Amino acid sequence: MHAVPHAAPDPDELERLFAHVRSRTRALAAPLSAEDAMVQSMPDASPAKWHLAHTTWFIERFVLAARPGYRPHAPAWDTVFNSYYQSLGPAHPRPCRGHLSRPSLEAVTDYREIVDARVGARLRDHDLDDEARRRLLVGLQHEQQHQELLLTDIQHAFWCSPLRPAYREDLPRPSAEPRPMAWCEADEAVVAIGAEPWPGEAGFAYDNESPRHRVLVPAHALASRPVSNLEYRAFVEDGGYREPALWLADGWALAQAQGWARPLYWDEDLEHAHTLGGRRALDAAAPVCHLSYYEADAYARWAGARLPTEFEWERAAAAAGPPQGNFADDGVLQPVAAQAAPGRRPAQLFGDVWEWTSSAYGPWPGYRPWTGSIGEYNGKFMVGQWVLRGGSCATARGHVRASYRNFFPPHARWQFAGLRLARDP
215-237 tens-digit pLDDT: 999 999 999 999 999 999 999 99
Lateral strand order in the sheet of 406-408: 406-408, 386-389, 354-360, 417-418
75-104 tens-digit pLDDT: 999 999 999 898 889 999 999 999 999 999
Checking if the pLDDT of 74 tops 90, the result is: yes
Beta bridge partners of 355: 389, 418
Give kind and range of the element (H or E) at residue 274: strand 272-275
153-196 tens-digit pLDDT: 999 999 999 999 999 999 999 888 878 899 999 999 999 999 99
What is the pLDDT at residue 340?
Answer: 65
What is the pLDDT at residue 217?
Answer: 98
What is the pLDDT at residue 177?
Answer: 81
Q: Please give the Cα distance from 72 to 77 (Å, whole number).
A: 9
Residues 6+ apart with CB under 8 A from 2: 16, 17, 20, 21, 398
Class of the CATH-defined domain 11-160: mainly alpha
The 8-class DSSP code of residue 328 comes to: G
CATH for the stretch 183-423: 3.90.1580.10
269-280 tens-digit pLDDT: 999 999 999 999
Q: Buried (b) or exposed (e) across 311-332, using 16+ Cβ within 10 A?
A: bbbbbbbeebeebebbbbeeeb
pTM score, whole prediction: 0.95
Rg (CA), the chain: 21
Residues 6+ apart with CB under 8 A from 3: 398
The residues spanned by each domain of the chain are: 11-160, 183-423
User: Cβ of 145: how many Cβ atoms within 10 Å?
Assistant: 16
Peptide bond just before 174 cis, omega within 30 deg? no
Residue 121, Ramachandran bin (φ over 0: left; ψ between -120 and 50: alpha; else beta): alpha
